């Protein structure tokens, strides 16, 4: 039996931890809150030397200006380019990575270890170190020309998406019990039948999670996009955002934060969706970049 | 059925009608299937990465500027790119600065990230959910967006940081130390969620009976952490630390965009920025390639521990 005094002491300590926890939460989330709230604030509140902590009269004018304003053209071009690049990168990578992941999860073969080292090692390469040769090689093949440059970027992104996709999918495949697969075969189905009816539904969550990681990595990529996509009409959203403040000395903070919000929201939604999968392990760490 | 594209992913298991071919098919098939499966990935990675890496090595021995880029051929100059870099004090200063920067960033990230994971265990369930969601939100902010947020918060005129600190119109981008401190704050803030959530998952492996037993024996919370929790967390912490070192050493987007082009100079370069400006922005590709090689070598040495650890984990699974 816990005495009343002990229980009180315990709840007191719990309250202290909670106060600390709330303080940490406020500090960590504040920058995100500040971005969203600035995006909705009228200009006089943004440009006042005393900040408005809780805006009361929200405005959508910054969003309108950010995505359709005359000062910041090419937003929709950037969205279109990004969706093309991300879509093709993710689709191709998933197919290729899935095949390789099956090889790693279900087979033992000579050279397997070397392949694993290669997959992990590539993720460790500092991307800035590869900017120069990739630029020179793609240029020599004419892939930096405006009409092919998106293709060049897709190829580049695939190299960085593939290794962690192989690695993550392999983890998901390992999680599938062999018995299930064998049970399906005993039932008289072929291996292909077993694959389609048993394996695929089980791997589907893994494929979704890995696709999300791949989506986020390519959506967020800045280094190579900045080097390869020089024409304004070919830029991705991250490059578009990086030039947002570029020209004038006076920054339109409201529009900048509105633009930032628009670009961050898809990623945030996806992250929250696969949040539980992410605790799945260190593999998710590969997403950072 | 055999035309189904996914079939190679399952070992060759011929149908009854092809029973006679079974022996050879099965033998050759079984052996080659895994190689066929990894071939597409190998081909993609090999062409897009293998050739540029080879190119990087040859470029580093050439004079290769804008003129040579247009001509599609460099000028072989031996090791003089390396010689001039290794005799350049900017390179050594940048390297030293990056090492100090990396130690500070990784140290702060690991200590704060682990502390927050321990905090997650202590708080009430509702707050744990709120904190997890908050951390995932922070984790999900794209680097370029994070830079813009911090740029706005640290603005000298209406930035919220100056208001909170009562610092008037303090310019956070006036000195190298101040610039890199803001970059550090940004990177640590963005990196904490990954560390916290991973360490928190690792804490679940710590048996509650062990902690209870230690506390009944009279061990304080510091002792319990040092003698019970920490040894179990150690492998995870080591992997996280080596990953953070590799990432922070080569960091580019945050310092490049937050410090800004007009403020970047040899007094505040980090390796990632240095290699980009020397090689790409100044269009001295040969020299840039040589710096890249030196940087890749350093990171390769730093990565050995991590890669070995992961390969060993892979073999156990």
Question: Highest mean pLDDT range out of A34-38, A178-182, B68-72?
Answer: A34-38
A236 and A229 Cβ atoms separated by less than 8 Å: yes
What residue numbers bound the domain in which B50 lies?
A: 7-59
Q: In the structure, what pLDDT confidence band is assigned to residue A195 with cuts at 50, 70 and 90? A: low
- Give the nearest partner residue to B44 out of A47, A96, A245, using CB atoms: A96
- Give the nearest partner residue to B45 out of A124, A139, A159, using CB atoms: A159
In chain B, what residues touch A275 (CB-CB under 8 Å)? Answer: 132-133, 136
Tell me, yes or no, whether B47 and B94 share the same domain. no
Give residue for tokens 């610039």.
Answer: B179
Among B131, B140, B182, which residue's Cα sits nearest to residue B161? Answer: B182
- Which tokens in the block code for residue B182? 């803001």
Give residue for tokens 């099965």.
Answer: B26
In a domain, B44, yes or no: yes
- Give the nearest partner residue to B311 out of A21, A102, A116, using CB atoms: A116
Q: What is the CATH number of the domain that holds B221?
A: 1.10.3720.10
**H or E segment and range at residue A133:** helix A128-140
Reply yes or no on domain A73-287 having CATH 1.10.3720.10.
Answer: yes
Q: Per-residue pLDDT averaged across A28-50, rounded? A: 91
Q: Per-residue pLDDT averaged across B14-36, rounded? A: 65
pLDDT of residue A34: 95
pLDDT of residue B6: 36
- Which tokens in the block code for residue A224? 């190579």
Tell me, yes or no, whether B106 and B174 share the same domain. yes
Tell me, yes or no, whether B289 and B195 share the same domain. yes
- Which tokens in the block code for residue A216? 């986020």
Q: If you average pLDDT over every residue of chain A, what do you get?
A: 83
Report the gap between the CA of B177 and the closest CA in chain A (Å).
22
Work out the angle at residue B153's Cα, subtended by the Cα atoms of residues A71 and B135, and round it to the nearest 5 degrees. Answer: 110
In a domain, B171, yes or no: yes
Instruction: Say how far apart CA A150 and CA A232 lie, in whole Å.
Output: 13
In a domain, B68, yes or no: no
Q: In the structure, what pLDDT confidence band is assigned to residue B177 with cuts at 50, 70 and 90? A: very high
Among A104, A123, A151, A131, which residue's Cα sits nearest to residue A214? Answer: A123
- Give the nearest partner residue to A31 out of B35, B153, B194, using CB atoms: B153
Tell me, yes or no, whether B169 and B289 share the same domain. yes
Domain boundaries, chain A: 4-59, 73-287
Query: Does the pLDDT at position B279 exceed 60?
Result: yes
Q: In the structure, what pLDDT confidence band is assigned to residue A196 with cuts at 50, 70 and 90? A: low
Structural domain count, chain B:
2
Q: In the structure, what pLDDT confidence band is assigned to residue A249 with cuts at 50, 70 and 90? A: low
Beta bridge partners of B63: B75
Q: Per-residue pLDDT averaged across B20-34, rounded? A: 68
Instruction: Say how far apart CA A125 and CA A33 lie, in whole Å.
Output: 34
Tell me, yes or no, whether B160 and B21 share the same domain. no
pLDDT of residue A87: 95
Tell me, yes or no, whether B239 and B306 share the same domain. yes
A51 and B157 Cβ atoms separated by less than 8 Å: no
Query: Does the pLDDT at position B315 exceed 80?
Result: no
Report the gap between the CA of B257 and the closest CA in chain A (Å).
7
* DSSP assignment letter at A196: I
In a domain, B65, yes or no: no
pLDDT digits (tens, 9 = 90+) for B245-260: 988 999 999 999 999 8
pLDDT of residue A284: 40
Share of chain B above pLDDT 90, in %: 37
Give the C-alpha distances (Å, rounded to integers) separating A192 from A198, B4, B5, B61, B109.
10, 9, 10, 52, 47
pLDDT of residue B7: 34
Instruction: Say how far apart CA B292 and CA B272 lie, in whole Å.
Output: 9
In a domain, B75, yes or no: no
pLDDT of residue B16: 46
Query: Does the pLDDT at position A281 exceed 60?
Result: no
**H or E segment and range at residue B199:** helix B176-203
pLDDT of residue B211: 83
In a domain, B1, yes or no: no
Q: Per-residue pLDDT averaged across B274-290, rounded? A: 88
pLDDT digits (tens, 9 = 90+) for A161-187: 998 899 888 888 887 777 766 666 666
Query: Does the pLDDT at position B12 exceed 50?
Result: no
pLDDT of residue B111: 96
Mutation choice for A interface testing from B13, B66, B117, B144 by most A CBs within 10 A: B144
pLDDT of residue A189: 56
Query: Does the pLDDT at position B5 exceed 50?
Result: no
- Which tokens in the block code for residue A37? 């709230």
pLDDT of residue B2: 31
The ipTM of this complex is 0.86
Among A125, A116, A174, which residue's Cα sits nearest to residue B312? Answer: A116
Query: Does the pLDDT at position A275 exceed 90?
Result: no
Query: Does the pLDDT at position B13 exceed 70?
Result: no
Tell me, yes or no, whether B46 and B127 share the same domain. no
pLDDT digits (tens, 9 = 90+) for A135-148: 888 888 888 888 88
Tell me, yes or no, whether B49 and B182 share the same domain. no
- The answer to whether A222 faces chain B, any CB pair under 8 Å, is yes
Mutation choice for A interface testing from B129, B149, B263 by most A CBs within 10 A: B149
pLDDT of residue A124: 81
Q: Per-residue pLDDT averaged across A235-239, rounded? A: 92
Q: Among positive and negative, which fits the CA dihedral B204, B210, B212, B217?
A: negative
- The answer to whether B279 faces chain A, any CB pair under 8 Å, is yes
Q: If you average pLDDT over every residue of chain B, what do you get?
A: 85
Q: In the structure, what pLDDT confidence band is assigned to residue B221 with cuts at 50, 70 and 90? A: confident
Q: In the structure, what pLDDT confidence band is assigned to residue A191 with cuts at 50, 70 and 90? A: low
Q: A127: how many CB neighbours lie within 10 A of its CB? A: 19
pLDDT of residue A283: 42
Query: Does the pLDDT at position B228 exceed 80?
Result: yes
In a domain, B278, yes or no: yes
- The answer to whether B171 faces chain A, any CB pair under 8 Å, is no
Tell me, yes or no, whether B110 and B53 share the same domain. no
Question: Strand, coil or helix: what is B63?
Answer: strand
Q: Which residues, in sequence order, are CB contacts of B289 under 8 Å at separation 6+?
A: A132, A133, B56, B57, B59, B60, B64, B81, B279
């Amino acid at each position: 039996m816990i005495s009343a005094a002990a229980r009180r002491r315990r709840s007191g300590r719990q309250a202290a931890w909670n106060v600390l926890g709330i303080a940490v939460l406020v500090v960590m989330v504040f920058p995100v809150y500040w971005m969203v709230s600035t995006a909705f604030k009228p200009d006089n509140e943004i440009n006042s030397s005393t900040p408005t902590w809780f805006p009361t009269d929200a405005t959508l004018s910054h969003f309108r200006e950010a995505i359709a304003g005359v000062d910041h053209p090419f937003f929709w071009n950037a969205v279109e380019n990004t969706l093309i690049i991300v879509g093709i990168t993710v689709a191709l990578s998933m197919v290729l990575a899935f095949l390789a992941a099956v090889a790693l999860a279900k087979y033992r073969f000579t050279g397997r270890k070397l392949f694993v080292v290669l997959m992990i090692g590539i993720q460790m390469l500092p991307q800035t170190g590869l900017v120069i040769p990739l630029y020179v090689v793609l240029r020599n093949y004419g892939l930096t020309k405006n009409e092919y440059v998106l293709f060049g970027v897709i190829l580049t992104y695939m190299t960085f998406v593939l290794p962690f996709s192989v690695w993550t999918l392999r983890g998901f495949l390992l999680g599938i019990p062999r018995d299930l697969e064998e049970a399906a075969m005993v039932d008289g189905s072929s291996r292909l039948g077993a694959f389609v009816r048993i394996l695929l539904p089980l791997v589907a969550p893994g494929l979704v999670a890995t696709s999300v990681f791949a989506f986020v990595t390519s959506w967020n990529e800045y280094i190579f996009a900045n080097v390869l996509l020089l024409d304004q009409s070919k830029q991705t959203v991250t490059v578009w955002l990086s030039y947002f403040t570029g020209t004038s000395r006076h920054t339109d903070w409201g529009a900048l934060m509105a633009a930032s919000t628009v670009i961050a929201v898809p990623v945030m939604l996806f992250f929250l969706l696969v949040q539980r999968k992410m605790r799945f392990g260190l593999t998710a760490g590969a997403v950072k970049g | 059925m055999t035309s189904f594209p996914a079939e190679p992913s399952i070992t060759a298991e011929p149908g009854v009608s092809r029973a006679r071919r079974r022996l050879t098919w099965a033998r050759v098939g079984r052996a080659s299937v895994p190689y066929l499966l990894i071939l597409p990935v190998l081909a993609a990675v090999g062409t897009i990465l293998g050739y540029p890496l080879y190119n990087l090595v040859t470029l580093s021995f050439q004079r290769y500027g804008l003129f040579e880029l247009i001509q599609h051929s460099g000028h072989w100059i031996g090791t003089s790119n390396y010689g001039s870099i290794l005799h350049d004090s900017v390179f050594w200063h940048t390297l030293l600065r990056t090492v100090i920067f990396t130690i500070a960033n990784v140290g702060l990230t690991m200590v704060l990230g682990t502390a927050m994971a321990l905090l997650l265990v202590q708080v009430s369930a509702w707050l744990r959910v709120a904190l997890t969601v908050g951390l995932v939100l922070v984790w999900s902010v794209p680097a370029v967006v994070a830079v813009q947020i911090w740029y706005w918060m640290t603005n000298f005129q209406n930035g919220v940081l100056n208001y909170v600190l009562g610092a008037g119109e303090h310019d956070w981008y006036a000195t190298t130390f101040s610039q890199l401190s803001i970059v550090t704050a940004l990177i640590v803030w963005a990196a904490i969620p990954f560390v916290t959530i991973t360490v928190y998952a690792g804490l679940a492996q710590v048996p509650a009976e062990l902690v209870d037993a230690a506390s009944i024996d009279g061990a304080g919370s510091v002792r319990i952490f040092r003698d019970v929790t920490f040894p179990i967390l150690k492998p995870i912490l080591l992997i996280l630390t080596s990953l953070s070192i590799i990432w922070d050493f080569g960091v580019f987007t945050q310092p490049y965009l937050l410090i800004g082009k007009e403020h970047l100079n040899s007094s505040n370069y980090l390796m990632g920025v240095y290699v980009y400006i020397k090689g790409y922005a100044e269009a001295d590709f040969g020299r840039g390639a040589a710096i890249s090689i030196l940087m890749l070598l350093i990171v390769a040495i730093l990565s050995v521990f991590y890669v070995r650890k992961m390969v060993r984990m892979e073999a156990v699974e």
